[in-house]
Amino acid sequence: MGAQQSVNAGKAKVDLQVDLTHMLCEALLLPPLRSSGVALSQIVGRISLKHPSLFGRSEKLDVILDKGINDSNVVVAFRRPRPEWLSQQSFVIQLKHRETYIVDDLLTDSPQIFSFSPGLSNQHSMTPEVAVHGFPADNFTRSGSRGINLSRLSFGLELNEPATSNWTSGTSVKFEHIRPVNNQGRSIARDHDGFPLTCSGNLHDNMIILKQESGYADVNDNSFLKVNFQMEQGLPLVPKSLTFNRVKCAVSKGIKLGPTFLVTSLTGGSIVGDMAPYQAFAIGGLGSVRGYGEGAVGSGRLCLVANCEYTVPLAKHLEGSIFMDCGSDLGSARHVPGNPALRQGKPGFGIGFGYGLHFNTDLGQIRVDYAMNAFSRKTIYFGINSSGGL
């Protein structure tokens, strides 16, 4: 729902757009039901101002203001045209603010961030920390909160540069200030068992992170191959800053077998050096091992997750699938400071399997997955995939 107006500014025309949208959740996990207030928090209003030729040479200026109940985002982007054989240049200033409040013991939040190149970014978020410090409940189908939240304040510089038609790469450097807080918003340094929540042992951690990310995608009518590699290096440029190296790699392969489609993926990660518990790789949940709550399988310095899904067409816009997920911390949970996974009784290895229905619509692919974990407990997942298919 929105309105748009064009205003003449000299020889150029400026487009002003006001829009009110309801952000679709990436996935909604049932049961249990969340508070009805969460639905209202997804409503976001947008004011967009666009100038197609700021200085008369096709320079584009975009100003975007998003405002919701718990979210606000301001983006000012200036793009200068270049020859087709060169990557396009743009300068972006972004200010993003997000507040997430605990409605029940399952509310988690993974904010989506706009991606531009190059640009300056500033972000503040507060999210419940259940992936590492949460306790498994209902035979590991969900993770309950222990009243620990993470307040993150970060700012930095991002540069995304496409290398070839198949490869993309990005580099960023940012400063992060991370502060554990309780449900009342007060800073805390230790959990309920008296173990430190930060690497420094104080009320906060500071770190300067240099991140390199590369991606490869080869897609055709019969198959696809996607590779994503991320490396983060903590730089000791400020006193008591964390020094570490964190690597994560994900590979997925899809093959068409007649009218059916087979997709397999493998994800692995490792972190060495200084480490706070919240930096551990969390295993379990949607996008990891279905049938388990977020982080209910385990959390460690290492992780390995494998997924396999076989899809069969049932009707014109309807597909059925069977899937199996498994994940392990490779015995590295004991190397996480405070051993939060072992203290919560997480197994460190989990396997989930099930079946699902996929409805292909104009809005995207609507997924309904029914998963069962190793403890024979079942979970239903609802989700919308905007890509509209595998």
* Residue 337 CA, distance from chain mean position: 24
Give me 63's structure tokens: 């100003």
For 286, half-sphere exposure in the C-beta direction (CA atoms, 13 angstrom radius) is 19
d(CA 207, CA 225): 34
Between CA 36 and CA 34 the distance in angstroms is 6
Pairing of strands 89-98, 119-128: parallel
Lowest mean pLDDT among 31-45, 62-76, 153-167, 263-277: 31-45
- Got the DSSP string for 29-90? EESSPPPTHHHHHTEEEEEEEEES-SSSSS-EEEEEEEEESSEEEEEEEEEE---TTSPPEE
Rg of the chain taking only CA atoms, in angstroms = 22
What is the band of 240 on the pLDDT scale with cuts at 50, 70, 90? confident
Asked if residues 141 and 292 have their Cβ atoms less than 8 Å apart, the reply is: yes
Contact 337, 102 (CB under 8 A): no
C-beta of residue 310 within 8 angstroms of C-beta of residue 332: no
How distant, in Å, are the alpha carbons of 66, 73, 74, 76, 323 from that of 95? 10, 6, 5, 9, 40
Q: Is the pLDDT of residue 77 over 90?
A: no
Lowest-confidence segment of 108-117, 134-143, 290-299 by average pLDDT = 108-117
Give the pLDDT score at 45: 74
SS3 279: helix
% of the chain residues with pLDDT over 70: 71
d(CA 69, CA 36): 14
Give the distance between the most distant pair of CA atoms in the chain: 68
Helix, strand, or coil (residue 29):
strand
Which helix (H) or strand (E) is 116 found in, with range? none
Q: Which of 118-122, 131-135, 208-212, 281-285 shows the lowest per-residue confidence on average (mean pLDDT)? A: 118-122
Domain architecture of the chain: domains with CATH:
2-385 (2.40.160.50)
Contact 109, 125 (CB under 8 A): yes
Paired residues of 185 in beta bridges: none
- Predicted confidence at residue 88, as pLDDT, reads 47
pLDDT on residue 55: 66
pLDDT over 60 at 96, yes or no:
no
* DSSP bridge partners of 230: 213, 248
359 and 318 Cβ atoms separated by less than 8 Å: yes
Which residue matches tokens 């551990």? 280
